[in-house]
Amino acid sequence: MDTLYVLSEDGELAARGTPSEVFAQHELLLRCNLEPPPLVRLLAALEQRGEHLPVSNDPEAVADALLAWRNRKVESRPLFPVPNIGRGSERDPG
């Protein structure tokens, strides 16, 4: 198991734990001038929108979770709705 150590600006130990435990502490990372990995930021953005996926820095695990999430969403509505731009009028042209 990987263990991460985060030091504050003054060299004090600010956090210690697994990547998932440490990266879940967004405020602490910001105070230590650190930014979570992109995958963790994506999952946090989804969490803020009410979508709860497991936090991980493993791309394969995130891909599996996103595919499962998408499959649940596709059944209820389109994931990325396409606006009706440039498709003409709904009326019959003839």
Give CA–CA dist 24/22, Å, rounded: 5
Inform me whether the pLDDT recorded for 91 exceeds 70: no
CA distances from 43 to 17, 50, 94 (A): 19, 11, 50
> SS3 of 2, please?
coil
pTM flag (> 0.75) = no
At residue 31, the pLDDT reads 92
For 31-80, write each residue's pLDDT tens digit. Answer: 999 988 888 888 888 888 888 887 676 788 888 988 888 888 766 665 56
Nearest Cα neighbor of 23 from 31, 34, 12 is 34
Report the pLDDT value the prediction gives residue 46, as an integer from 0 to 100: 85
Query: CA-to-CA distance for 18 and 36, rounded, in angstroms?
Result: 13
